[in-house]
Amino acid sequence: MRWWLVVLAQVAGVLSGPDPAQMEKAPDLGYRPVPATLNLPDGVKMGAPSSVAMDKNGHMLVFNRGTQPLMEFDAQGTLVRAFGEGRYVRPHGMRIDPEGNIWTTDVNGHTVTKMNANGDVLMTLGTRGQAGSWNETTQLLQEPADIGFGPQGDVFIVEGHGRGEGRVLRFDRTGKLLKSWGGTGKAPGQFDQPHSILFDKGMVYVADRENRRVQIFDVDGKYIKEWKFAGLPCGLYLAADGQMYLASGFAGQILRLDANGKAIAMMGQPGKGLGEFGEAHYMTITPGGDIYVADTINAVLHKFMKR
């Protein structure tokens, strides 16, 4: 499928208001939406946010689809720096590893980039503008969406955002491929647009978006179980206290999950008002407990505070 058809199909899934058939039922999460006040200098504009993360200094990084794709803000919302110009075709996922390195995915440029905290590029996986399957000769990626971090510095990448085969690739800290698994389909261990990945307590969690589930594997790709959802699971997030959350895309919900994947609290709905989502893509929680959510469709960085 051509990339623009994929984009049109995604936009067609945008909801103008709540759809009970795609939304989980759970108690309120206990947050209220507030404007995300970001202090940008004159002439500087943020594009549609695709991901957001907190660094070890309490600064927030926003990965966006503008001319300055990486923006860092201090705790008061003042822009500290902007960088990454000309590096990306379509920014998608971003994570900060335990050592403070910044990892980004370019879903249409087919690369994963590792940077140190200063923004210096340390490693690039894949070749910009070239899509393909990873092997020792070509070392290509196809539509990498998100990154997770495992034991001994291992890096897990999900790829296949509509055009490529849905797969998980496990690399060591030097970029050597250790394992891969998946394939496109609906069977256990197969994917239809794997969109997010994280590692927790020895297990690998994959948001298998179009199959409306999160699949759980061991580090070698052995299928363990899956959690079903009414909406489209987009962004998995593990808070500092070990609590897992899920941003449920076009359903416009942020879900707090229990150990069995059940939504035990929720907030949000589709729409265009304050705190309403076009697509709840990826999220983060600040040290003070505020929640920020990157919304690619409404082109808004949402902020929620505890009531």
Residue 247's domain comprises 3-306
Asked whether 135 and 168 are in contact (CB, 8 A), the reply is no
Percent of the chain residues topping a pLDDT of 90: 91
d(CA 233, CA 217): 17
3 pLDDT above the threshold of 60: no
Reported as a single tens digit per residue, the pLDDT across 27-55 is 999 999 999 999 999 999 999 999 999 99
d(CA 111, CA 3): 16
pLDDT of residue 8: 42
Confidence of residue 12 (pLDDT cuts 50, 70, 90): low
Reported as a single tens digit per residue, the pLDDT across 273-283 is 999 999 999 99
Asked whether 152 and 172 are in contact (CB, 8 A), the reply is yes
Count of domains observed in the chain: 1
Q: What is the CATH number of the domain that holds 29?
A: 2.120.10.30
Q: At CA 259, angle to CA 201 and CA 245, rounded to 5?
A: 85
Phi then psi for residue 250, to 5 deg, are -70, -20
pLDDT of residue 10: 54
pLDDT of residue 50: 98
Measured in whole angstroms, the distance separating CA 259 from the mean position of its chain's CA atoms is 21
d(CA 206, CA 203): 10
State the chain's mean pLDDT as an integer.
95
Reported as a single tens digit per residue, the pLDDT across 109-160 is 999 999 999 999 999 999 999 999 999 899 999 999 999 999 899 999 999 9
pTM as predicted: 0.95
> Which two structure tokens, joined as six digits, stand for 213?
């589930």
In the sheet that holds 263-267, the strands lie side by side as 235-238, 244-248, 253-257, 263-267
pLDDT of residue 9: 44
Percent of the chain residues topping a pLDDT of 70: 96
74 pLDDT above the threshold of 50: yes
Count of C-beta atoms within a 10 Å radius of residue 170: 22
> Which two structure tokens, joined as six digits, stand for 19?
């759809």
